[in-house]
Amino acid sequence: MLIKIPFASACKESDVTPESIYLSRRAVLGASLAGFAFSALPSWAQAADPSRYPDVEAGKPPGWFSDKLTSTKWQAVTVQNEAITPFKDATHYNNFYEFGTDKGDPAQNAGSLKTEPWTVVIDGEVAKPGRYALEDFMKPYQLEERIYRLRCVEAWSMVIPWMGFPIAALLKQVEPTAKAKYIRFETLQDPKTMPGQRSGFALIDWPYVEGLRLDEAMNPLAILAVGMYGRELPNQNGAPLRLVVPWKYGFKSVKSIVRISLVSEQPKTTWQSISANEYGFYANVNPTVDHPRWTQARERRLPSGLFSPNIRPTEMFNGYGEQVASLYTGMDLRKDY
């Protein structure tokens, strides 16, 4: 018999959402991340189960995505004693400035985004650069469902079941050269379909750019996502391809990716360029380093009522410290924020 010992990153019993809200979305199996080996799953979790997320709006998945559902590893990684954020909250409360600056703008405006056809460029310090149609880009990878906490720098948070694959698998395919030290991600720039890019929000020099150190990208928790809640990504959540790094603030998780470059120098990222004293390159979730205008010691977990807000303490590295803290050994995380 296997005995699973939970990490400190697992939430405590006192954090559990009331049963009436929680029960229908309950995570049946906790995953052990020791050595980054994933737990075996019961038979019902081996294939797509339409009832798993009953509140999800039906999507229009491309053929390549539907084909991969039969081999998807459901609940490959999960969190214990956590309620998954309702689909409507996760898809109607977003930051995606390409479609507007208000939280509801992405859901309202992202319908104009055309995700088929879609191409992804791999370039820079790699042995195998290329331009790929998304369906060809995805061919080598098996989808895994990863249920992760998402912590926004604005001090709100969610729990979202993503579907994707480890960035490490991509790097194995493209073979970074010895000069590659960082990975740079770039969002689509298309003012015709992204109204925010033609608005007066001039602080952003489009396209949106984010980056990771290569060893961060190689960490098994870092994934490229193509789906959520058992279906393809909605446009407002970064369709058709986005980054997810659960131990960092949400703005690191660049959406609608069209270019992935391996580079030798640290890339200048979008929010770092706008205000480096507020949005550092690393952007690790850190309750001891406040934003200049608000505390990061607490967060508001959505959904959250006006008169009874769901406030909880923020955990270092968003609760994933046992898996990622070694990446920053010897660094001053108050300075390298």
Domain assignment present for 3: no
Question: What would the DSSP string read from start to end of 107-150?
Answer: HHHGGG---SS-EEEEEESBSS-EEEEHHHHTTT---EEEEEEE
DSSP 282: S
More confident residue, 17 or 48: 48
Residue 22 CA to chain centroid, in angstroms? 22
pLDDT of residue 105: 97
Q: How does residue 199 score in pLDDT terms, banded at 50, 70 and 90?
A: confident
- The CATH number of residue 166's host domain is 3.90.420.10
**Three-state SS letters, 139-202:** CCCCCEEEEEEEECCCCEEEEEEEEEEEHHHHHHHHCECCCCCEEEEEECCCCCCCHHHHCCCC
Helices and strands per DSSP (H, E), number in the chain: 9, 13
Query: Angle CA(94)–CA(97)–CA(101) in degrees, nearest 5?
Result: 75
pTM of the model: 0.86
Domain assignment present for 262: yes
Range of the domain at 129: 13-328
Residue 33 has pLDDT above 60, yes or no: no
Domain assignment present for 180: yes
pLDDT of residue 34: 35
Residue 222 CA to chain centroid, in angstroms? 8
Q: How many domains does the chain have?
A: 1
pLDDT tens digits, one per residue of 292-328:
999 999 999 999 987 888 999 999 999 999 999 999 9
pLDDT of residue 18: 38
Looking at every residue in the chain, the average pLDDT score rounds to 87
CA distance 249 to 212: 13
Least confident of 5-14, 21-30, 292-301: 21-30
CA distance 263 to 258: 16
Domain assignment present for 337: no
Mean pLDDT in residue range 66-71: 95
CA distance 71 to 82: 26
Give the CA diameter of the chain: 61
DSSP 214: H
Domain assignment present for 72: yes
Domain assignment present for 7: no
Residue 84 has pLDDT above 80, yes or no: yes
> What is the Cβ-side half-sphere exposure of residue 125, based on CA atoms within 13 angstroms?
14
DSSP 64: H
Domain assignment present for 22: yes
pLDDT tens digits, one per residue of 231-275:
999 999 999 999 999 999 999 999 999 999 999 999 999 999 999
Residue 72 CA to chain centroid, in angstroms? 18
Domain assignment present for 333: no
CA distance 321 to 246: 11
Residue 44 has pLDDT above 60, yes or no: no
